[in-house]
Amino acid sequence: MLNLADIKANKNEIYLDNNATTAVLPQAAQAAMHTMSTCFGNPSSSHSTGIQAKYILESTRQLARQVIGADDGDIIFTSGATEGIQTSIISALAAIKQGGMTPSKPLLLYGATEHKAVPETLKHWNDMLEVGAEVVAIPVDENGLLDHQFIAEHIADTVLICTMIANNETGVFQDMLALEEIIRKGNPEVLWMVDCVQGLGKIKLNLSSTTIDYAPFSGHKLYAPKGIGMLYVRQNAPYTPFIAGGGQEQGLRSGTENLPGIAALRAIFELMLDSADETFKTHQQLVAYRQQLAKTLGVVFPAIVFNHDFNYSLPTTLNFSVKGLSSKEIMDVFDAANIRVSSGSACSSKVTGSFVLDAMGKAQWQSEGAIRMSFGPATTQQDIDRACAAIFSAGVAMRQSGLLTPDPDNAIDSKFEGLQQWVYNNQCTWCYIDQASKQVVIIDAVAELNHKLRTLIESGGYHVRAILTTHQHDLQVSNSELTDLLAPMSEQTPVDAHGWPIEQSQTLEFDSGVIASMINLGSKRVIKLQTPGHTHDSVSYFIANNTSGAVTAVDIDYAFTGDTIQIGGIGRSDFTDSDSGALFDSLQMLYSLVNNDTLLCPAHDYKQLFTTSFALEMAESPLLADVCLQRISKEQFVDAKAQVDQQIAEQLPAHYCGYIQQSTQPCVNIAPEQLNDFLAEHDDVLVIDVREAYEFEAHQQTQLKQKPLVNVPLSQLTHFVRHHMPVNNQQTLVCICRSGNRSDTAAKMLKRMNFNRVYHVPGGFALIH
Ligand code: PLP
């Protein structure tokens, strides 16, 4: 295990994710440490050590009253805002249950952009306590502002309304005075919780002058440690303890108080209340910081769109999207450039959007591509200057690696060569680049990746020879969206339904006598074969060496098999235009032309396995082996295939085009603390950084513990396999990425492709820089 001291902050880190959590300010850390080592007493003890602790507890409460403007009511220290939200909601629901419900159909209202802690808690306790109310989201407009009309219409039947002072994803704040007016006009009795987490230290609060009943706060959003928060409860508002026990906090919240956390809060409150202290910046200063960041972002990303109106937002949050870039790409390149931001949507292989931006009616690409950049009220001018410089550097890295179009007078010396593979929602787009001739062929382009393809092609100055599909596919783009990328107009010729340039193609004969059509691609040739079965129009393509004479299996680099053969199964053949008999012939023909290890590149990758081969597929599928080795008749295959397709239809989502049951071997981990010794002991080791080229470029690290670091992005892993196998499969390979996810995926893939000595580093660069 690593020593804690070995898990270091990167000294170049630029932390712009303050809405997620903040660093603890030194004053707060010192206060917590003092309370742990010196004034460590239990505030409930009556001896002197306890009395000291009690003083810290109560004096913090006094300061909290000043900070949030609560002359009366209760302030209860909690573990954080989620606990405060539970307590508020349980208190309200218990009161509703005890008092009987007046409206015939009681409502629990919450803003559609609330933090998930609110709707989930409402639903959970509404069910658990059998309250039987209806939990309803209040819509917001395109600026994220609550629909006051909706509230006015529903408030009379509402027993609890939950709103937030400022949103954590966008910083959008609500007009609290107008909201209060509309709520109280329609229902003076309704209980009102306001999640104040993102407002503390950024919005002046005077809670006693409002009719807010409950206001939860969290320490770790304002420079105190995690695990401390507080809840304001209006005088006489219904209250039920969420935690019962020894009666601490006047019986309102039992459990020995988190005194170090409370002391840290106290230090923060003292800074906030000290008008001579400049730790917390003025609103004007924060607005100027935002302007500087927004301007820099605008220069780096000319296509940037801010997803919220700055007039309705706290200055400390910038939420933006860049058309053509996914939030994952921006996050990844920023992280490599040491800039920490968060994505509005979850970073998973399945693309998801942000429910906050969805509620605001933003376009899908904005929601899926959103980045949240958040600084804090204690951020300094120097921090912002460093951030802007780092954003510029990240921009340069993106331009040099084909993620952003470079300046016209600054064309890049492209690092791309050979096969590239991108996956979007399990669908593969393949792109073959012949660097010498600058010619490119694209196969099975996914619409969502068009922008990326376009940027790569424009930045590399490539000529697109053909944009091909393996069959008419619901999910893959019609070629027309990219046709302007095709080589100069003079060279354009008519294409068939698959995008194949008919007039430029020639007939070709395999040594086995099979006749196909081919086009040249620099030093390679692209070959088209009819492989009907999955659908009547299914075709496959080969990329092969441009040799004179007949093509043999060894000449073939890659076979793009669409859905005819997938990774882990033969493609489905139970569609209306499928034909299992024809599929049988197509499989036998393909098998006769390639060899066992030829890389097969399908239209889908459901399990992040990238590529496959007949050898691997036949080992897993006795049916495929029977077909290829001519052990069964066409009729037997048709019967057996019908059964497999039946299974697929019953077990898999409808959009699956084949059956996927491929197993992967676990790869071997090198614990981060053992990496030094491991690299020293293995002379032949090749360390592969599997992050994308723009991350590699932004990170500017070319060595790892004195061993050269080679960049093989996941998108070029299939190319790597082709060029290193089988000769080099005894070489020791160590895969590394930012966190250990992609390196794990890459190592598993390489193991499966018969590279025997493959390792990866869990925790990645985050732990070993
Ligand atoms: N509410 C908002 C608006 C938040 O941003 C968060 C934290 O992300 C929470 C509630 C939950 O706070 P805690 O982490 O203190 O439980």
Q: Where are the alpha helices (DSSP H) in 427-570?
A: 450-460
Residue 532: other Cβ atoms inside 10 A:
20
The verdict on whether omega for the bond into residue 241 sits within 30 degrees of 0, i.e. cis, is no
Question: What does the pLDDT read at residue 659?
Answer: 52
Contact 543, 521 (CB under 8 A): yes
Query: Token digits for 581?
Result: 């008999």
Contact 627, 640 (CB under 8 A): no
Question: What does the pLDDT read at residue 10?
Answer: 80
Residue-level length of the chain: 769
Ligand 1 pocket: which of 218, 220, 314 to mutate (most atoms <8 Å of CB)?
Answer: 218
- Cα 243 to averaged position of ligand 1 atoms, centre (Å): 19
Query: Token digits for 114?
Result: 């609330």
Ligand 1 pocket: which of 85, 87, 115, 231 to mutate (most atoms <8 Å of CB)?
Answer: 115
- State the pTM of this model: 0.85
- Cα 117 to averaged position of ligand 1 atoms, centre (Å): 7
- Cα 17 to averaged position of ligand 1 atoms, centre (Å): 13
C-alpha triplet 489, 440, 537: angle, nearest 5°: 85
Catalytic position from the list 162, 347, 667, 737: 347
Q: Which residues line ligand 1 (CB under 6 A)?
A: 80-82, 115, 117, 164, 168, 195, 197-198, 218, 229
CA-nearest residue for atom 12, ligand 1, is: 81
- Ligand 1 atom at minimum distance from 20 CA: 8
Sheet of strand 539-545, all strands in order from the earlier edge strand to the far edge: 506-509, 515-521, 524-530, 539-545, 556-562, 599-602
Ligand 1 pocket: which of 79, 82, 89, 258 to mutate (most atoms <8 Å of CB)?
Answer: 82
Q: Of 148, 194, 198, 189, nearest to 170 (Cα)?
A: 198
Type of residue numbered 63: L
- Cα 173 to averaged position of ligand 1 atoms, centre (Å): 15
Question: What does the pLDDT read at residue 114?
Answer: 97
- Ligand 1 atom at minimum distance from 19 CA: 5
- Cα 378 to averaged position of ligand 1 atoms, centre (Å): 19
- Cα 377 to averaged position of ligand 1 atoms, centre (Å): 17
Question: What does the pLDDT read at residue 6?
Answer: 82
Ligand 1 pocket: which of 78, 197, 342 to mutate (most atoms <8 Å of CB)?
Answer: 197
CA-nearest residue for atom 8, ligand 1, is: 20
Question: What does the pLDDT read at residue 103?
Answer: 66
How far is 56 from 259, CA to CA, in rounded Å? 8
Residue 517: other Cβ atoms inside 10 A:
18
Q: Of 496, 500, 495, 546, nearest to 520 (Cα)?
A: 546
- Cα 598 to averaged position of ligand 1 atoms, centre (Å): 52
- Ligand 1 atom at minimum distance from 168 CA: 5
How far is 2 from 52, CA to CA, in rounded Å? 37
How far is 248 from 141, CA to CA, in rounded Å? 43
Question: What does the pLDDT read at residue 656?
Answer: 63
Contact 103, 157 (CB under 8 A): yes
CA-nearest residue for atom 16, ligand 1, is: 82
Type of residue numbered 261: G
The helix (run of H) or strand (run of E) holding residue 569 is: strand 569-570
Q: Which residues contact 502 (CB under 8 A, 6 or more apart)?
A: 493, 494, 495, 496
Q: Which residues of the chain have pLDDT under 50?
A: 346-349, 475-477, 489-490
Helix (H, G, I), strand (E, B) or coil at 7: coil
- Ligand 1 atom at minimum distance from 167 CA: 3
- Cα 218 to averaged position of ligand 1 atoms, centre (Å): 7
Sheet of strand 427-434, all strands in order from the earlier edge strand to the far edge: 418-424, 427-434, 439-443, 463-468
Active site residue 347: yes
C-alpha triplet 569, 574, 577: angle, nearest 5°: 120
Query: Token digits for 352?
Result: 């998801």
- Ligand 1 atom at minimum distance from 117 CA: 10
How far is 349 from 137, CA to CA, in rounded Å? 29
Question: What does the pLDDT read at residue 729?
Answer: 66
CA-nearest residue for atom 5, ligand 1, is: 168
- Ligand 1 atom at minimum distance from 85 CA: 10
How far is 457 from 463, CA to CA, in rounded Å? 8
Task: Quickly tell me which residue has 């944009």 as its tokens.
Answer: 467
Q: Which residues contact 132 (CB under 8 A, 6 or more apart)?
A: 106, 126
Helix (H, G, I), strand (E, B) or coil at 176: helix
- Ligand 1 atom at minimum distance from 229 CA: 15
- Cα 601 to averaged position of ligand 1 atoms, centre (Å): 44
DSSP state at residue 233: E
Helix (H, G, I), strand (E, B) or coil at 289: helix
Contact 214, 92 (CB under 8 A): yes
CA-nearest residue for atom 7, ligand 1, is: 20
- Ligand 1 atom at minimum distance from 219 CA: 15
Question: What does the pLDDT read at residue 8?
Answer: 79
In this structure, are strands 539-545 and 524-530 parallel, antiparallel, or unpaired? antiparallel
CA-nearest residue for atom 9, ligand 1, is: 81
Question: What does the pLDDT read at residue 249?
Answer: 96
- Cα 51 to averaged position of ligand 1 atoms, centre (Å): 32
Check residue 236 and give left, alpha or beta (phi > 0: left; psi -120 to 50: alpha).
left
Question: What does the pLDDT read at residue 194?
Answer: 98
- Cα 223 to averaged position of ligand 1 atoms, centre (Å): 14
Q: What is the CA radius of gyration of the chain?
A: 31
Query: Token digits for 189?
Result: 């009795």
Instruction: Convert the pLDDT of each residue in 136-187 to its tens digit.
Output: 999 999 999 999 999 999 999 999 999 999 999 999 999 999 999 999 999 9
- Ligand 1 atom at minimum distance from 83 CA: 16
